[in-house]
Structure 1
Amino acid sequence: MFWRRLAAIFAVWMCLSSPVWADAYEVRANHDPDGIGKIYMGREIAQVMGHQGAGWLERSSRETEEQPQKVMTALQLKPNSVVADIGAGTGYFSFRIASAIPQGKVYAVDVQPEMLEILNYLKDQKKLSNVEPILGNETTPNLPENSVDLALMVDAYHEFEFPQEMMLAIARSLKPQGRVVLVEYRGENPFVMIKGLHKMTQKQVRQEMSVAGLKYVETRNGLPQQHIMIFEKA
């Protein structure tokens, strides 16, 4: 335990003392109207979809457009898994995961209190006791260290205002060999009719995850428009 903790402290110190951390972000006055003018590793960060768009997250067409059951299969959940749904929104995936892990737990994390109000309402309607809503902030999901088997981000990571800080915090929350799964619209494909800043390429995602010490495992491309990208805590 001592050596594991010492290694974790050293990894964080290396990130903090590296030029990447010290000069992680660039701010541009002239920027994409769908972005916030903040550049991270060559990518402009997208604007956050506000709670006013909650209805879009729960649209009936999402089942066919995004095929969430294929995401669920890719997660390879165990009945007692502990999962963090980062950017949970209305709980669209949180509730599906909770039903699949009856002895496990879902941390449903969002930075918007209004989203968590909606999530809490739907949680009561569904009578699910293994979902814990958590209010995060722009730099941390406020999760316990070494507590999570899997952190899932569905169409959320590209909106993180402080992606480097957030991913380091998420990495700290993972158990040894814990996994991170990102579902993002395919930035390589111009025929995916999503605004450019709300899509990501595999190359960009792998570059950004490596800064947090996450090892690339595989990409699954069985969804109509999105990548499922899987990483593991090194």
Structure 2
Amino acid sequence: MYRVWLLFLCALLACKSGSSQQQSAQIPTTSSYYRYRTASRDGTGKVYMGREIAQVMGHLGASWLNRPEREQEERTDLLLKALNLKPTDVVADIGAGTGFFTFLMAPELSKGNVLAVDIQPEMIDYLNQGKARRKVTNVQPILGTEADPKLPAHRVDMAILIDAYHEFSYPREMMQHIISALKPTGCVVLVEYRAEDPNVPIKELHKLSVAQATKEMKAVGLRLIKNDQRLPQQHIMFFGR
């Protein structure tokens, strides 16, 4: 089963929506944070702090994000428990995609809400459709850009990035904006496949080690608070100021 969906995923990684390409073209590459080299098979050729940024899954990968076996493979039920959400929390789901996890969190936030961010208009359409179908009122889809999630300042209790951070074209700028959106006690949660484990059947550039994540978060003023290891294949890394 893993081999089947991995092949499907690999076929999708080269797909970017036209809107994403337009957004990328509008962002000046003046930053000294990045280096460039010949792209590897699954990479972009853009390097941040020694890590080649991975190619992005486009909106045509929606069916993979919503695959029926995802909950069992990734144990999203355990992830939800690990977050220990409070009913009043404001959670930013960065790279929300079709809203698979957005709509799992929403019922836990009876007095809060989910800010579901994606850079692809097609994914925002999926989110709005899911919101209407489920009659959910505490999910707010937000169309961000590759460098800015367009979050309100000082409003977010938790920003969660599920298998998304390693694909950010502008990780430094994105994290700076995310941090600006956090409340003083807010945190960032990175959920990433374990680069330390060669048995995790995911392409290397779509994994992230604790050491690399800690280094990159330290560069924007965050420290590792906890690495929860209850998931079968992914880290749950909590970062705070």
- Aligned residue runs from structure 1 range 65-104, under 5 A: 65-104=73-112
The residue aligned with 1:217 is 225
1:231 aligns with 2:219: no
1:161 aligns with 2:169: yes
The residue aligned with 2:14 is none
| Deviation string, structure 1 residues 154-209 (Cα, Å, up to 9, x no partner) | 00000000000000100000000101101000001111010110000000000001
The residue aligned with 1:205 is 213
The residue aligned with 1:173 is 181
The residue aligned with 2:135 is 127
TM-score by length of 1: 0.89
The residue aligned with 1:24 is 33
Q: Which residue identity does 1:23 align to in structure 2?
A: S
Tell me how far apart the structure 1 counterparts of residues 229 and 156 of structure 2 sit (CA, whole Å). 25
Q: Which residue identity does 1:134 align to in structure 2?
A: I
Q: Post-superposition shift, 1:31?
A: 2.2
Q: Which residue identity does 2:215 align to in structure 1?
A: Q
Structure 1 residue runs without a partner (length 5+): 1-20
SS in 2 for 1:149: strand
Structure 2 residue runs without a partner (length 5+): 1-29
Among residues 139, 146, 151, which one is paired with 2:154 in the alignment?
Answer: 146
Tell me how far apart the structure 2 counterparts of residues 177 and 229 of structure 1 sit (CA, whole Å). 16
Tell me how far apart the structure 1 counterparts of residues 106 and 223 of structure 2 sit (CA, whole Å). 26
- Aligned residue runs from structure 1 range 38-49, under 5 A: 38-49=46-57
SS in 2 for 1:145: coil
Runs of 4+ in 1 over 6 A off after TM superposition: none
Among residues 67, 70, 85, which one is paired with 1:62 in the alignment?
Answer: 70
The residue aligned with 2:195 is 187
Aligned residues: 212
Q: Which residue identity does 1:68 align to in structure 2?
A: T
Tell me how far apart the structure 2 counterparts of residues 203 and 166 of structure 1 sit (CA, whole Å). 20
| Deviation string, structure 1 residues 24-62 (Cα, Å, up to 9, x no partner) | 10011x221211110000000001100000000000110
Q: Which residue identity does 2:36 align to in structure 1?
A: V
Tell me how far apart the structure 1 counterparts of residues 133 and 125 of structure 2 sit (CA, whole Å). 13
Work out the percentage of aligned pairs sharing the same amino acid. 54
Q: Post-superposition shift, 1:22?
A: 5.5
| Deviation string, structure 1 residues 91-130 (Cα, Å, up to 9, x no partner) | 0111111111111011000000001111111111111000
Tell me how far apart the structure 2 counterparts of residues 78 and 139 of structure 1 sit (CA, whole Å). 29
Tell me how far apart the structure 2 counterparts of residues 212 and 68 of structure 1 sit (CA, whole Å). 28
RMSD of aligned residue pairs (Cα, Å): 1.0
